[in-house]
Amino acid sequence: MNGSILVTGGAGFLGSHLCDALIARGNDVVAVDNFYTGSKDNLSGAIDSRRFELMRHDIWLPLFIEVDRIFNLACPASPIHYQNDPVATVKTSVLGAINMLGLAKRRKARILQASTSEVYGDPQIHPQPETYWGHVNPIGPRACYDEGKRCAETLFFDYHRQHNVDIRVMRIFNTYGPRMHPRDGRVVSNFIIQALNNEDITIYGDGSQTRSFCYVDDMIKGMLAFMDQDAHVGPLNVGNPHEITVRDLAETIIELTDSRSRIDFRDLPADDPLQRKPDIAQATETMNWQPTVGLHDGLQETIRYFRWLLG
């Protein structure tokens, strides 16, 4: 992968790790972010590199820049953030996709869309293969994100069919690791912070709902491998197929942090999926990718980060 690369959402959790990986490969990187959830602190390593530039910009506004490849990661990804301003979330997903696809068309650049497992909604098929169309509430409180990402996928494939834009559409399943936003409302960051503070760990529902968690290093390797290969445009599931209940996750984090926390059960939010597990057969076949970091090892690295963050 040569030339200059644009990373939208480059100051966010995944975006900052991607910028670091691209710089390490010798690429010139331009990161764009509006800093709604991203932070310059996430880019403390990249910012000193002569190969790196940072720009404050909302991608729902047009952007004219000379780049060869585009990673479109911009969009708040946790319910607490994307539900805080749902109209802005839809604008980022839909208008942002139109603007970035227009840029890719003008530049004849390959563009990767960071889509999401949320396009499957509360799935009725388990695990979820890429052929599954999903079970999504189009007017619910999560729809600004779920349907925004689904519409972005539509735009990507329409630009591909109509304008021959070189696309990659990647469906990202739950990812965790250092640089997660401490107040993003996700179970891993929530549980770790509550455990480190010896506070009650909040579980919504009875804790039997399942998730599959992929460590950030594995996710970035999958993203780069997908962008590099020429055989498949997607959509492609990338995530860890190891499934765990939310209650087991909480108990594991309590053990790893040596916490005195107890579990506090609350009502399940509307449209919260009960199962989430990727079928990654295509990723394995297409680019010989599988996650390698186990949950315990990844959680220990994440706990170390939050210990440092909390001081």
DSSP for residue 141 = T
Let me know: does 56 contact 31? Beta carbons within 8 Å: no
* Catalytic residue (choose from 36, 82, 120, 145): 145
User: Is 305 tagged catalytic?
Assistant: no
DSSP for residue 74 = -
Let me know: does 126 contact 277? Beta carbons within 8 Å: yes
CA gap 21, 8 in Å, rounded: 15
CB neighbours (10 Å) of residue 259?
19
Residues 6 or more apart whose CB falls under 8 angstroms from that of 47 comprise: 40, 54
CA gap 275, 141 in Å, rounded: 18
Identify how many contiguous H helices and E strands the chain contains and give both numbers.
9, 13
Catalytic residue positions?
A: 145
